[in-house]
Amino acid sequence: MSDPRGDDALIIATFSRRMHLRLEDGAVVNARIKGKKLRPVCGDRVTAVPLDAEEDWLITAVAPRVNELSRQNTRGGHEVLAANLDCLAVVAAGVPAADWFVVDRYLAAAALMNASALLVFNKIDLVDELTAAKPALCRYSQAGYEVIETCADDGRGIAALRRALDGKTSIIVGQSGVGKSSLINRLSSAAGLRTAEISNARKEGRHTTVNSQMIDLPGGGTIVDSPGVRDFAPYIEEPASVARGFIEIDAAAKDCRFGNCRHLREPGCAVKRAVERAAIDERRYESYRRLLALTEKLTQDRF
């Protein structure tokens, strides 16, 4: 029996305005949302009440969030994708070809929401693509990111991935077709997520996963499978915070002459110096500059 004030429940799947909730007693129920203002996402704690003569429950309130993964949309607004996360597992692969700028922006999103981040390079059975990606992967390790190489087909790297996710609430993100759902199916044999071959002609994913859902991992912890993207930019309120999204740039910035250095053309910029002597990867720096420019543009548009 639920008490009249409503159950404290967890959102474990979202289908537009319809949700799956896990109640305190572990039961999973369907739910819809009261009114138009509430926008619960996977990972949200919500208050829900059962409805008379209906199977659905009604979500009446969303608890304050520890953090949220939000994406910028084109008109300066933003959309929350998931909430209350400990870790973002960013997946790339050789096929479809990795877009490292998208990877960078997910890694930045993790840092800015105070979640840990993990770069997963999947499909290492595609040996030529792995060889081609190695220099890029090394630069991420050197910058201080945890990098795990996996093959969802034969299971290589899955134990390391499991250890990295153990006990945490994580989300798996990345381009369509890189193997996010396949990796979760490997991590949990009960997951049974739908996967599909990428298109032959364009070597792109088919956007097989269309909604976010949370899957419990057998060793503890839980992971949200999310729809693949073509592009992603985190929602960032202040351009000054962009540097915090790039851990090696943030570390170098401590030695800049000016506290408000944007690391572009300022004198005494320790970040530019580090790029010049190749201590910071030039492409990562370019990624920082692109995200800063985008954030500045969108911030201006908001006013």
Ligand X SMILES: Nc1nc2c(ncn2[C@@H]2O[C@H](COP(=O)(O)OP(=O)(O)OP(=O)(O)O)[C@@H](O)[C@H]2O)c(=O)[nH]1
For binding to ligand X (CB under 6 A), which residues are involved? 122-123, 125-126, 151-153, 176-182, 195-198, 205-209, 227-228
256 contact, one of ligand X, Mg ion, Zn ion, none, CB 5-8 Å limit per kind: Zn ion
Residue 125 contact among ligand X, Zn ion, Mg ion, none, beta carbon within 5 to 8 Å by kind: ligand X
Q: Which amino acid is at 268?
A: G
* Cβ nearer to Zn ion, comparing 202 with 265: 265
Question: Which lies closer to ligand X via its Cβ, residue 25 or residue 197?
Answer: 197
| Residue 105, contacted partner among Mg ion, ligand X, Zn ion, none, CB below 5-8 A by kind | none
Burial tier of 84 (Cβ tally within 10 Å: 0-12, 13-18, 19+)? buried
Least distance CB 184 / ligand X (angstroms): 8
- Dist. CA 234–CA 110, nearest whole Å: 9
Q: Which stretch binds Mg ion (CB under 5 A): 37-45, 103-111, 161-169, 205-213?
A: 205-213
Please state, in angstroms and rounded to a whole number, the distance separating the CA atoms of residues 37 and 39. 6
Collapsing DSSP to helix, strand or coil, 49 comes out as strand
List phi, psi (to 5°) of 154.
-110, 0
- Complex with Zn ion: residue 20 or 263, whichever CB lies closer: 263
* One character per residue 177-196, x = contact with Mg ion (rule: CB under 5 A): ---xx---------------
Cα 301 to chain centroid distance, Å, stands at 25
Does 209 sit near Mg ion (CB under 5 A)?
A: yes
CB 162 within 8 A of CB 217: yes
The Cα 103–Cα 219 span in angstroms is 27
Residue 63 Cβ vs ligand X, minimum distance, rounded to whole Å: 29
Is residue 226 near Mg ion by the rule CB under 5 A?
no
DSSP-derived secondary structure for 193-255: ----PPPTTT--------S-EEEE-TTS-EEEE---BS---B--S-GGGGGGGSHHHHHHGGG
By a kind-dependent CB cut-off of 5 to 8 A, residue 207 interacts, out of Mg ion, ligand X, Zn ion, none, with ligand X
Give the HSE-up count for residue 291: Cα atoms under 13 Å, Cβ half-sphere.
35
Q: Residue 271 binds which entry of Zn ion, ligand X, Mg ion, none, with Cβ cut-offs from 5 to 8 Å by kind? A: Zn ion
72 touches Mg ion (CB under 5 A) = no
- By rule CB under 5 A, what count of residues binds Mg ion? 4
Q: CB nearer to ligand X: give 94 or 221.
A: 94
In the chain, how many H helices and how many E strands?
7, 13
CB of 293: closest distance to ligand X in angstroms? 28
- CB-nearer residue toward Mg ion: 91 or 252: 91
Residues that bind Mg ion (CB under 5 A): 180-181, 208-209
